[in-house]
Amino acid sequence: MSYGFLATNNNDEVLVSSETRNLHFLQKKTSPTSVSYTTNFYGGMRHWNYDFTNVSVTPVPFFTTPTTDYYAITRVTNTSGNNWTVEIIRSGTSTTVPEVYLFADPRAGTATDAYGMVVYRDDGTAAFDSRKRPLAVTGGQAVSHPTNPKSSYSSSGLSAKYCETIQNYDTSVEYDISNFIPDQYTQYTITGQPSKPMFSYLSLAQAERELTLNASEEECDGVDDGYGGCIGFQRTYYWTSKYFAFYRGGIRWDAVNSTLRAGWIITEKGCNWTYYRDNDFLGIGTGSDSGTGGNWPYSNETINTANNTVIIGNGARYD
């Protein structure tokens, strides 16, 4: 650069530049604004919305991981004007919720101190403002998710009839199964992290897995011929149930062993069933308990597993 301001650290990495914008702390939420989905089935899953107001530029969210479950940011949405929603998902059944820190360039936010240093860009807007608590990172890791969320899938214990293993057809009472709980991850060792790390991980990886079960039964209205056949009118009943789970990529921090895992979080679950008698179509129904009422637009695939980077900071620095 021929003019302006540039500060670098001992590794010649840019700390402050009048040609870029540092990220600065804006707001923190200690609990979600709303819960969009929760269940303790399938190992447990939580979907939370954290709403933020007065954010005039696109924010960069970080979250804490108060439990050793998998966490991820799945969307950042500008709901209206300067209002934003950050959706966080988590595996597991704990009632403990993550804290969410919001960072943005210094055009957003208000300085809380009269002392410090401000660096301006050539358009007169701030590139850096020490009064707005600039972001310092403590680590980073490029992560990739394993292709399969679970090492092997078994249909053991699942019924082919009316998805009855997870939902009572007559009463809609739901039941739990463990057939889809993920157990695969990629692990990374990251040392030297603070006691309250915060992570920016924007989930892209997705996977869908399904287990299809078929069954049939014959009913004879005539006379049994003594050899397993039927003399007279008979019917054959056919059932199919397709149990499915939809996964998103997540990360899990283990502070004791300083390890970061890239694994999977079940975010939707359900089942579709069909029922036929002979060749006559009698009924087709959806026994889904996922709230979506249908299949996913792809089957038994894993997508968006290109490398993704986790940025780590010290949450306590912004408390």
Partner 1 sequence: MSFGLEIFASNGVTTYDSTDVTWNQVDFFSVSGGGSASNSYSVLSGRDVLVQQVQINSPPLTRKATAHTISVSGTTVSVSGGSEDAYILVLMK
| Residues lying near partner 1 in the complex (CB under 8 A) | 1, 7-11, 13-17, 19-23, 57-58, 60, 73-78, 87, 105, 113-117, 130-131, 133-138, 140, 200, 202, 204, 206, 292, 294, 296-298, 303-304, 306, 309, 311
Q: What are phi and psi of 130, to 5 degrees?
A: -65, -20
Nearest approach, Cβ of residue 125 and partner 1 (Å): 12
Whole-angstrom CA distances from 7 to 12, 16, 106, 124 are: 9, 5, 17, 19
Nearest to 123 by CA among 103, 111, 109, 106: 106
Strand partners, 224: 230
What does the chain come to in residues?
319
SS3 130: helix
Cα 305 from Cα 319, distance rounded (Å): 33
Nearest approach, Cβ of residue 218 and partner 1 (Å): 37
Cα 286 from Cα 107, distance rounded (Å): 50
- b/e 285-315 (16+ beta carbons within 10 angstroms → b): ebbbbbeeeebbeeeeebeebeebebbbbbb
Closest to partner 1 by CB, 139 or 239: 139
CA atoms in the 13 A half-sphere facing the CB of 281 = 4
Structural Rg of the chain based on CA atoms: 26
Whole-angstrom CA distances from 125 to 81, 129, 136, 208, 318 are: 21, 10, 21, 45, 24
Closest to partner 1 by CB, 232 or 293: 293
Cα 151 from Cα 263, distance rounded (Å): 12
Closest to partner 1 by CB, 247 or 253: 247
